[in-house]
Amino acid sequence: MGTITTSDGAEIFFKDWGPKDAQPIVFHHGWPLSSDDWDGQMLFFLSKGYRVVAHDRRGHGRSSQVWDGHDMDHYAADASAVARHLDLRNAVHIGHSTGGGEVARYVARHGEPDGRVAKAVLVSAVPPLMVKTPGNPGGLPMEVFDGFRQALAANRAQFFVDVPAGPFYGFNRPGAKPDQGVVYNWWRQGMMGSAKAHYDGIKAFSETDQTEDLKAITVPTLVLHGEDDQIVPIDDSARLSAPLLKNGTLKTYPGFGHGMLTVNADVLNADLLAFVRS
């Protein structure tokens, strides 16, 4: 574990586990969480002999709570700073939700131009664009994201219980059995971060059009999405993203929700490993 300081003064916390000569698997977490959300995947890939790396996005987890730079450009630049600091090459970058947007921008603007990326994976990811606009009529209304901002500003601690206890993992579905440990861990990670970073991050993940990022990516890219994703609906994201990729593959999971990496880790880990080895 360690930290780096970016050119604009943000201190970024990262984990770097495993043999330094092994192929790196780099994980990018979702909003409003931290690199801890990848524990299951990092331990799994570590056990398979890979080098595993993950960082806390600026304002999240153990990274510094800077007041600005909470946008996709800075997210990607920070990821690039970590990759360059560790001199990661032939890396597979895997991003969940907002982290998927971070991966798309990083690979398109930094990773491929630097020759550092072998493959990419977008899991339950926000690209190409979440919010409804004249050019994206199938997106979610701005009122949805305004509601997120209002709930966060009014009572972030309660909001960060309601999201994982309900739609994030699909625990609100009939017959679902909520896992309180999973809910508590989501809350723990969220409350470690900055309210300002989380508030600004809503705009970053909902209003950033990443169509051109996706078009620019040439490395093999796997798009994974749950068909019952209540946070990032599949018809507004994965089914639009995959055709924009030059070398993309789409795999969907009936009944799986947004947090499938945690509650369906056995299935996802096997599919991720198969893609990495392919």
**Which pLDDT tens digit goes with each residue over 7-54?**
999 999 999 999 999 999 999 999 999 999 999 999 999 999 999 999
Question: Among residues 110, 229, 236, 237, which one is catalytic?
Answer: 229
* Contact (CB, 8 A) for 135 and 153: no
Give Cα 57 to chain centroid, integer Å.
10
Q: 233-248 in b/e burial notation, b at 16+ Cβ within 10 A?
A: bbebbbbbbbebbeeb
Distance CA 84, CA 131 (A): 32
For the CA atoms of 250, 251, 253, 256, the dihedral, rounded to the nearest 10 degrees, stands at -60
**Active-site residue, 229 included:** yes
Question: Among residues 34, 35, 63, 97, which one is catalytic?
Answer: 97
For the CA atoms of 114, 116, 120, 126, the dihedral, rounded to the nearest 10 degrees, stands at -40
Whole-number pLDDT of residue 132? 96
Phi, then psi, of 16 in degrees rounded to 5: -140, 100
Fold annotation for 2-277: Rossmann fold (3.40.50)
DSSP structure class, residue 36:
G
Residues of the chain with pLDDT under 70: none
Whole-number pLDDT of residue 1? 72
Give percent of the chain above pLDDT 90: 100
**Sole residue written with tokens 């305004």:** 146
What is the per-residue DSSP string for 148-174? HHHHHHHHHHHHHHHHIIIIITTTTST
Question: Among residues 29, 60, 225, 258, which one is catalytic?
Answer: 258
- Residue 260's Cβ-count burial label (10 Å; 0-12, 13-18, 19+) is buried
Whole-angstrom CA distances from 158 to 161, 193, 227 are 5, 15, 27
Residues with Cβ within 8 Å of residue 225, at least 6 apart in sequence:
123, 124, 125, 232, 234, 237, 238, 239, 250, 251, 252, 253
* Contact (CB, 8 A) for 168 and 257: yes
**Active-site residue, 258 included:** yes
What region does 69 belong to: left with phi over 0, alpha with psi -120 to 50, or beta?
A: left
